[in-house]
Amino acid sequence: EFDRMEASSLEKNVEFPVTARELSQLSQDRTLQALVHTLEDVTQEETPLLKSQEETTSAILERFQELQANAPYPEHSKEQEEWDRISQDAAHALATVVLHSSLENGIPQSSVEARKSQFGSNGIAAKPLDSFLKLCWEALQDFVLCMLLVLGVISIIVETTIGLPDGEPCGTCWLEGAAILVSVGIVVLVTAGIDYGKQFAFIRLSKSLQGTNTKIVIRDGVQTNVTDEDIVVGDILLVNSHNQASIPADCVLVQGIDLKLNESSLTGESKLISKHPGDVVLSGTTVAQGGSAKLVVISVGINSVAGKIQAQVYESQDYVDTLGNTSEDSPLFVKLDLLAKQIGMAGTIAAAISFGVCCLIGFVFKGEPAERLVYYLMVSITVLAVAVPEGLPLAVTLALAFSSNQMMKEQNLVKHLDACETMGCATTICTDKTGTLTANKMTTRALYAGSTNYLVQDPAMHLGGYIKQEGISSELLELIAQLISICTMDETVLYLNDQGQVERSSGNPTEVALLQLVHDVDFDYEKIRESTKGRAQSGPLASHLSEGKQFGFSSARKMMSWAVLREGGGYRVYCKGAQEVIVARCTMVVSETLETSELTNEKREEWSDTALAYSRRGMRCLGLAYRDVPKDFDLDSLSAEVQNSDGTEAYEAETELVAVGLVGIEDPLRPEVPDAIAKCYTAGIDVRLVTGDNPNTAVSIASQAGILQPFHFVDPEGEKVATNLKKNVMMEGKTFRDKVYRMDEDNELEFDQTSFDRIWPHLRVLARSSPDDKLTLAHGLNQSNLYADAGACKRLLKRCNIKIFPDRQVVAMTGDGTNDAPALKRADIGFAMGLTGTQIAKDAADIILLDDNFASIVTAAKWGRNVYTSIQKFLQFQLTVNFSAVVTALTGSFAYQTSPLAAIQLLWVNLLMDSLASLALASEPPVEELLQGPPVNRTSPMITLQMWANIIGQALYQIIVVMLLLFHGPEWFDITPGDVIEDESFGHSSVHYTIIFNSFVWMQLFNEVNCRKLNGEFNVFKGLLNNPLFCGILFVTSVLQIIIVQFGSFAFHVSDGGLSLKYWGVCLGFGALSLIVQQIINALFAAGEHYLPWRMKKRLKRNYSLSRRSINGLSECDYSIPIKDD
């Protein structure tokens, strides 16, 4: 009847008797009642139905009404079976009567556009891009840029109006102010341009990923691959568990058996959900188990459940955060804002002092005319211009941009530039398991055969190589290879490259793992199949294929078998399946030499214990067995004694088996993960595993990865299972929620930070967790002020040997599902999975892992710390320049009421040269030593004691040189003092002041090399040649300085004709002495460290211990130790 209805529906071009809104409501309700009501509404519409359609639909409604009153019914009852039939018929009617589709022929290709017009397309309007002007405005909010903007405007006004001598043309008097404004414009445009480009990079990534998301639908009777965006309402979607297909739209299951879906990306529930015909299947979920199924699409795009969530996110531009999330600047920008304000205040004070002293000396002691007031104001503005670090905003932008571009090459797509630096301050990483720590590929990791347990502990070694290394007998290995090769489905395939290595695979993931084992032990599964009668499908033995028999896998039997012909006559039945089923049916066991013996109770117990050990390690355990039967054996006969798990009779051929072995299969740890996590602990970064898996699987992976150390277990030598862990080291999601939430006065749940603070220092694994648990964990860690409770920290250290980081936690969180988005937003840095992550998760994240690999997170941490040190290097360089330049300008204003360094010269030093220096220092590649210290505190100053020593020491040296040249230079070199020449002739420059300017610049250039090191390293040239950009910029800057001095003349306020070689030698000599001065500073500081106060020594010791947390680790909490603060 339905077949006839399908044909009739497709022949007539009728309107759809349902709206997109009504189908969307069905997705929301997800009940059989909602499905039946949809059909009922259709029968009441004015849209005419065929008589057969109306009769069949009415029959479904009548049967439903009869059974609904007493529902639900006991499982396996006649009423329940009738209820299931109604559900299947209702789904079938929905597809044919309502959506004019056909299970066999699908929809006509010609109707696709009409369906898009009525029900919408399967795409969500992209999140609106921030406009370039908006990004420019956001970049302009920087405090230093605002200060420079005001300073530039004031400078132009003063220079072109009241500051211009009577009768003198302006010429280039506006140049200084204009250059300041240009510098602001450059920084704003560069910052906005980088952020704007990142948006398009993310779009390109999304489109490339979407292009690979294809599904199989039926159109015009042909199975067709279409992209997710091309799927329309009414399409018949074909899915199976072999490719773990994700559902691209809301659907209703019409046909399929034993279908189970993973809905954790939407609901947060990690348990697989069984689906039966008539059930709604939500978009964003994944087929995890079961055979092939047919679904009819009912809601797409904005009307689907996932689409509504995404649209809501984009509309609000944020996620609803019930935990009180408040956005805040990254630790770096908080410190830079504070530093900029302090520098601005100091510069304003210095300018005010300069103005006051100039006025005092000029008007009181020298009797200067009142017109000189404007000149004194210009001098004070010059002092302020020198004090403000013009190059700092550009240095920050360039450092972040350079790091983000390099991180892109190392599989980190940075969406927000400040996320680079924030990751460098991370103290905790909360990571997923599947695909992040593990390879997301089922792999054999253990084999029990011939009374020997082959268990691979090293993540970098595969099982095949391990068992060959351990010396398994060739006879037993060949039997295992034959059993696996023959007893696997044809759909499971390994694809080899020209070198004979596995390049990719398809089919059932478990069988792929088994066939990979066969390949690793140097057997060819295809050759084994083709050389076996009853299994070969091509070649000379293909004619015997019908003589073999396949016993297919089903959830009722939990095993599969394949009977093939033996050389000596009869059949050999190879079996594989759930170990409890296989072992229970075995009566004999095979040895290393292929001799069989009775499977005694003692041996059976040994097999069971091994299987249990595999299971406790989180592995899936399969049993391998065979049976030889005579030629006249009836392969279809059923056993009267042995039953399948569902109570049906088992095949006689699958009883009285000979046990061959057990295989442990798991999603293995990525080989690079243990080293990456070890680096995290060395760097003072805690790693916590947050997964939906069961506790034993989570603990197994965490132990292999190094997240859990032996001291986390009650018995360090015992099994690495959940029951062996100390208190609160591992928690399940439900227990975690019960402990950190409490009922408030209104009888509503509220987060309890105090209870959370009792748990998180111990917590390393959160199992069976939901995305909401991730959000709670991120929020609790971020808001914890446990570090401020000295008594609690002392108790944790004394009793549990747990060291609390002395500042607020900076949390990095990984996620891939739609429901992970709030946690990714709440964390300081959100990492989304580029390969397996949903679009909403990627939109919510700060950084996208293009390879879904945990090691890439460690790379991000290294580059983040490199950003921080790069900016520290530039600050060390910039503040040295500013300090010495301000003192020089002030001294000049005190002595001569003018600065020996002209404004345009200072602008070259502070803007152009410093901008090039910022690029040079920002391009310093990261070194592994960056991950050997603790994270930087949120509240610790950016300028360390060693940096202050370097800044003050170099600045004092530069000031001394400039002062000596200023006051004794004319006498030493027999030249006219610069103030005399400039007083006598407007616009002329002296050799005296040119020498001062040139020496000053060369001291900065040589000090730029010193500034590559922050911690008193004596070899300042180490790694210099590894950074060609730094060398190139240093060379270019030097050449530009030579050109300016020799040919700059009036434009740069230098002597006509430049300097002679004698003076060049003097300038370069003073510059090179900066290298020697740095060695003296380092030696003095190192000697002074031995006399630091005891508190400083204690802090250094604490920092060292924080960067080596994993060495001592978490010992058993000893509450018998008395603590004074108790």
Residue 541's φ and ψ, nearest 5 degrees, are -95, 5
Token pair in block for residue 240:
């199976």
Look at the block and give the residue holding tokens 């030598």: 717
Backbone angles phi, psi at 367, to 5 degrees: 65, 40
Question: What gap in Å lies between CA 831 and CA 813, rounded to an integer?
Answer: 6
Helix, strand counts (H, E) of the chain: 39, 32
In Å, how far from its chain's centre is CA 476?
44
In the set 235, 432, 757, 979, the catalytic residue is 432
User: What is the Cα–Cα distance from 39 to 18, expressed in whole angstroms?
Assistant: 9
Is residue 449 a contact partner of residue 480, using CB atoms and an 8 Å limit?
yes
Q: Is the peptide bond before 72 cis (omega within 30 degrees of 0)?
A: yes
Amino acid at 1055: S
> Which backbone phi and psi does 416 adopt, to 5 degrees?
-125, 125
- Asked if 281 contacts 295 with a C-beta cutoff of 8 angstroms, the reply is yes
CB neighbours of residue 326 within 10 Å? 6
DSSP string, 301-370: GGGSHHHHHHHHHHHHTS---TT-------HHHHHHHHHHHHHHHHHHHHHHHHHHHHHIIIIIIS---T
Dump the DSSP string for 544-605.
Answer: GGGGSEEE---TTT-EEEEEEE-TTSSEEEEEEEEHHHHHHTEEEEE-TTS-EEE--HHHHH
- Identify the helix (H) or strand (E) that includes residue 1057: none
Question: How far, CA to CA in Å, does 1058 sit from each of 625, 984, 992, 1044, 1047?
Answer: 93, 20, 11, 8, 6
Angstrom distances, CA of residue 273 to CA of 36, 607, 619, 636: 22, 31, 21, 33
Inter-axis angle of helices 914-922 and 391-409, to 10 degrees?
Answer: 30
Token digits for 844?
A: 């919510």
Query: Alpha-carbon distance 260 to 271, whole Å?
Result: 10
Angle between helices 51-68 and 32-44 (to 10 degrees): 140
Biggest distance spanned by C-alpha atoms of the chain: 129
Element (H, E) at 293: strand 293-299
**Length of the chain in residues, anyone?**
1126
Residue whose C-alpha is closest to residue 1010's, from 1069, 1085, 929, 1076: 1076
Listing DSSP states for 6-34 in one string gives HHHHHHS-PPPSS-HHHHHHHHHH-SHHH
Burial group, residue 76, by CB count within 10 angstroms (0-12, 13-18, 19+): exposed
CA–CA separation, 662 and 664 (whole Å): 7
Axis crossing angle, helix 2-11 with helix 51-68, rounded to the nearest 10: 130
**How far is residue 804's CA from residue 1119's CA, in Å, rounded to a whole number?**
18
- Is residue 432 flagged as an active site residue? yes
- Of 768, 767, 775, which Cα lies nearest the Cα of 819? 775
CA distance 302 to 27: 12
Residues known to be catalytic: 432
